[in-house]
Amino acid sequence: MSDKLNVAGIVSEWEDKGLHESLNWKGTFDDYLELVKQNPTITRNAFQRMYDMIMEAGTETYIDAKKEVTRYKFFDDEVNNGKDAVFGLDVPLMKLMNVMRSAAMGYGTEKRVILLHGPVGSAKSTICRMMKKGIEAYSKTPQGAIYTFEWVDEGGQLGHIFGEGVRVFESPMHEEPLLLFPKSMRPMVFEKLNKGSGSDHKINVEGEVCPPSRYIFHGLMDHYHGDLEKVFGHVRVKRLVLSEADRIGIGTFQPKDEKNQDSTELTGDINYRKIAQYGSDSDPRAFNFDGEFNIANRGVLEFVEVLKLDVAFLYDLLGASQEHTIKPKKFAQTHIDEVIIGHTNEPEYRRLQDNEFMEALRDRTVKIDIPYITKLRHETQIYKKDFNSKKLRGVSIAPHTLEMAAMWAVLTRLEKPKKANLSRIQKLKLYNGKSLPNYTEDNIKELRKETRREGLEGISPRYIQDKISNAIVNAQQSNNGSVNPFMVLNELESGLKHHSLISNEELKADYRELLAIVRQEYEETIKGEVQRAISADEGALQRLCGNYIDNVKAYTQKEKVRNPFTGKDDEPDERLMRSIEEKIEIPESRKDDFRREIMNYIGALSLEGKTFDYKTNERLHKALELKLFEDQKDSIKLTTLVSSVADKDTQEKIDIVKTRLIKEYGYDEISATDVLNYVASIFARGDVKDPQR
C-alpha cells in the first residue's frame, strides 16, 4: 500500500461535502419563507446575532470582592486554542455585554457607536478581532445561518433592467430578503410568519433595500404591471457566509494619510467604467457599493483608532449609528444593519472631549473602558500563553520569571494606596486573592473605589513581551540554557532609559523602585521554596499549623489543650506559639492582637461556610515554613554550596533538595542549581530572616 501524499488524498480527508452544500444553499423566495417559518432566528439583526453568538459559548459567574461577576467563555478563544484569549477583563467585558444585550433587545444602544477606550496594549484590538472572527465562524453554523438574495434574469430578456448581458445581479450589500416586501405589507407578513412559530424571537425586520435592488425592484414592478408574485420570481435566496478576507459582512477601517483617503472608502464610489454602459453617474448600477459601511452590512465594522480619523469621516458615523443609514454620493440615505465598534486610546479621547464641535458624536457613543490588568495571576497568563515550551528553542524559562515580570507590570498600574500602612505590593497581593491582617473583602472593594485612574496608566504588556524576548535571545546566543527573573528584570530596567512612551524622569525613578521591590519579592519566594524543599513535608506543616491553632484557640478562650499522648489537659504551649510568631516578628506586646486576628479570620471563614487553610494566610504560612525549616535545617548544610568542597553525605542531601525543586516546583537542572547557589549565598551572609513589609 502506497503512502504517497497527493491532493486527492488530502481533500478526501478534509472536505465536508455536507457542510459545503449547506453553506451554498440556494432556493426560491417561497423556500426562504418556509425556512423563516421553521426558524425565525435567521432574520435576526446584527446586534442580536452577535449577542447570541457570544452567549452560546457559555458563561459562568463568580464572586469578586462581594460582587457577582459574569465571565463570558467566548473570550477564552477555545476554538483557536486560546490564541486570542482575553485574561482579567471580566468586568469590562461584562459592561460590553450589557450594551450588546440592550442593543439586541432594541433598548437604544443599537443606535450608538461602541467605543473601547483604554491605554495602548490593553486588548482593545484583540476584543474586536475576536468578535470579527467569531461572527465569521458563527455564520457557518446552523444556529448562525444568514441568508441574502440575488436577482436572476434567466432568459436574458430584461437587459434594460438588469443591464445588457447581466443574468445574475447580486445584492451588493447582502441584505435580508424580507426587506423586499413593501413596508405596507410587512406587518401582515410578519404576523403570519410569527404565528405559531413557537420561537421566542419575533420577526421585525426594519429598513429598505439598497439603491440597485430598489432600482431593479421598481423596474420589474413596472414590467409586470405591479404583479409582485412575478417580481419575486426573479429573486433567488442564498446562504450568506461572512468573511473578512472576502469583504462580506465584516469590515475594518483605519486612518491613513489624509491626502490618500476620502469618505468614499466608507460609502462607496462611482464606477466610471460602467457610466458609458448605463449612461449616467446617478444610475445605481454604475455605482460600487463597496465602502466599508456597505460591505460590513449584516455583520460588524471595526474602526481602528477611530478618533484619529479626520472630522469629515466622523460625520459619517452620526447617521450610521443613530439612524442606521449612510449617504452614498448622489444617492438617497441607504439603510445598514451592522455592529459599529471602534477603539481609541487616552490622548485621542481627551481631544474628542475638548472639541465642542464633536458633541453630536460624543452623544452617540457608548464608552467602555478597557484598562490594563490589575490582577497578577491574569497578567501572568498573558506571558505564559506567549512564552511556552513549544515556542522556545534551546533555552528554558526558570520558574517565577514570567510571574516577576507580570508583578512589575501590575505594580506600575496600581495607584499608591491612601492608607499609610499599606504598600503597593500588599495591595497587589490583596487584589490577587491573598489575605492580609485587618483587610476583608469590603476593604478590597473600598480600595478599588477610591482609585481614579487605576489600570489606565502604567507599563504595557507589549513592553514586557519585548524584554522577555530580548532575554531569551540573549540566552540563546550565549548558550546560557535558562532565562531567570534577574535577566528579565535587568532587561526591563535597561529598557526604561529609552522607553518611547515614558519621558517623565520621576516616573522612571518610581518604576525602578518597583523593580527593586520585585527583586526582593523574588528573593523571598525562592528562599521559601528552598526552605520547603529542605523540609519537604506538607503533613508536618499541617500538623504544626493544627497544633498552633489548637493552642491559640485555647489561649484566646482561656481554656486548656488536651495532650494527645497523656490524655491530660495542659496549659497552652506558649513556647511553641512564640517560636512561630517570632518568625514573622510579632513582638510580645502584640501577640494577643495577632492571635485574636487569627481566630477572627477563622470565625469569618466559618460563617461563610469555608474551611480555614493556612496557605491563604500569607504571614502564618511563612511563619510555619520558617519554623519547620529551622527545626530541620541542621540536617543539611546548604552553605557548603558556596564552597568548592562538599562531603559525599552533604552532596547527596543537596541533590535530593535539587530533585524536589525539579519535581515539585518546575525547575530544570540549570535553574535548580542557580537557585540553590543564590539562596546558599544569602544564607552564607546570614540573611535567613524573612523581613515583614
Cell 492582637 belongs to 593
- Helix, strand or coil, per DSSP, at residue 573: coil
Cell 516616573 belongs to 507
Residue 517 CA from chain centroid, whole number: 28
Of how many residues is the chain composed? 693
259 to 55, 263, 264: CA distances (angstroms) = 42, 12, 13
pLDDT of residue 646: 56
Burial class for 165, CB neighbours closer than 10 Å (0-12, 13-18, 19+): exposed
Per-residue cell: 419: 492608607
Q: In whole angstroms, give the CA distance from residue 625 to residue 630.
A: 8
- E strands, 357-507, are 365-369, 396-397, 482-483
* Mean pLDDT score, 394-412: 94
Percent of the chain with pLDDT over 90: 51
Cell 531567570 belongs to 484
- 72 pLDDT above the threshold of 90: yes
pLDDT tier, 315 (very low <50, low <70, confident <90, very high otherwise): confident
Q: Kindly report the number of other CB atoms within 10 A of residue 179's CB atom.
A: 23
Q: In whole angstroms, give the CA distance from residue 438 to residue 692.
A: 15
DSSP per-residue letters across 335-376: E---EEEEEE-HHHHHHHHH-GGGHHHHHTEEEEE------H
CB 480 within 8 A of CB 473: no
Cell 469569618 belongs to 604
* Mean pLDDT score, 576-582: 90
- 164 pLDDT above the threshold of 70: yes
pLDDT of residue 693: 37
- 31 pLDDT above the threshold of 90: yes
Q: Give the tens place of pLDDT for each residue, 482-536.
A: 899 999 999 999 998 888 778 788 999 999 999 999 999 999 899 888 877 876 6
pLDDT of residue 536: 61
- Helix, strand or coil, per DSSP, at residue 28: strand
Q: Kindly report the number of other CB atoms within 10 A of residue 29's CB atom.
A: 19
pLDDT of residue 15: 57
pLDDT tier, 640 (very low <50, low <70, confident <90, very high otherwise): low
Q: In whole angstroms, give the CA distance from residue 593 to residue 586.
A: 10
- Helix, strand or coil, per DSSP, at residue 272: helix
pLDDT of residue 258: 65
Residue 429: closest CA among 549, 525, 546? 525
Q: In whole angstroms, give the CA distance from residue 151 to residue 237.
A: 9
- 691 pLDDT above the threshold of 50: no
Q: In whole angstroms, give the CA distance from residue 86 to residue 78.
A: 11
Helices then strands, counting H and E runs in the chain, come out as 29, 19
The b-or-e profile of 541-580 (16+ CB within 10 A means b, else e) is beebbebbbbbbbbbeeeeebeeeeeeeeeebbeeebebb
Q: In whole angstroms, give the CA distance from residue 633 to residue 49.
A: 63
Per-residue cell: 268: 462607496
Q: Give the tens place of pLDDT for each residue, 231-241.
A: 999 999 999 99
pLDDT of residue 642: 46
Per-residue cell: 672: 535548580
pLDDT of residue 12: 64
Question: Which residues pair with residue 62 across a beta bridge?
Answer: 69
151 to 238, 552, 557, 560: CA distances (angstroms) = 11, 84, 87, 92
113-117 and 365-369: which strand pairing?
parallel
Name every residue whose Cβ is closer than 8 Å to that of residue 654 and which is 6 or more positions away in sequence.
636, 638, 640, 641, 646, 676
Q: In whole angstroms, give the CA distance from residue 133 to residue 50.
A: 11
Q: Which amino acid is residue 315, in one-letter code?
A: Y
Cell 477555545 belongs to 78
pLDDT of residue 681: 78
Q: Give the tens place of pLDDT for each residue, 598-636.
A: 898 888 888 888 888 887 777 788 788 778 777 765 555
Q: In whole angstroms, give the CA distance from residue 440 to residue 278.
A: 75
- Helix, strand or coil, per DSSP, at residue 59: strand
Residue 5 has, within 13 A of its CA and on its CB side, a CA count of 1
pTM for the full model? 0.82
Q: Give the tens place of pLDDT for each residue, 273-293.
A: 888 888 888 889 999 999 999
Q: In whole angstroms, give the CA distance from residue 6 to residue 494.
A: 53
Percent of the chain with pLDDT over 70: 92
Cell 507599563 belongs to 459
pLDDT of residue 312: 72
Name every residue whose Cβ is closer than 8 Å to that of residue 487 and which is 6 or more positions away in sequence.
401, 471, 474, 475
Residue 678: closest CA among 484, 502, 534? 484
* Mean pLDDT score, 82-88: 91
Q: Give the tens place of pLDDT for each residue, 195-217.
A: 877 788 899 999 999 999 999 99
Mean pLDDT for the chain overall: 87
CA dihedral 160, 163, 166, 172 (to 10 degrees): -130
pLDDT of residue 1: 44
CB 60 within 8 A of CB 73: yes
- 692 pLDDT above the threshold of 50: no
Q: In whole angstroms, give the CA distance from residue 435 to residue 526.
A: 20
- 91 pLDDT above the threshold of 50: yes
Residue 309: closest CA among 500, 113, 121, 173? 113
Please tell me the least confidently modeled range out of 375-389, 405-419, 639-653. 639-653
- 595 pLDDT above the threshold of 50: yes
* Mean pLDDT score, 160-186: 93
CB 390 within 8 A of CB 384: no
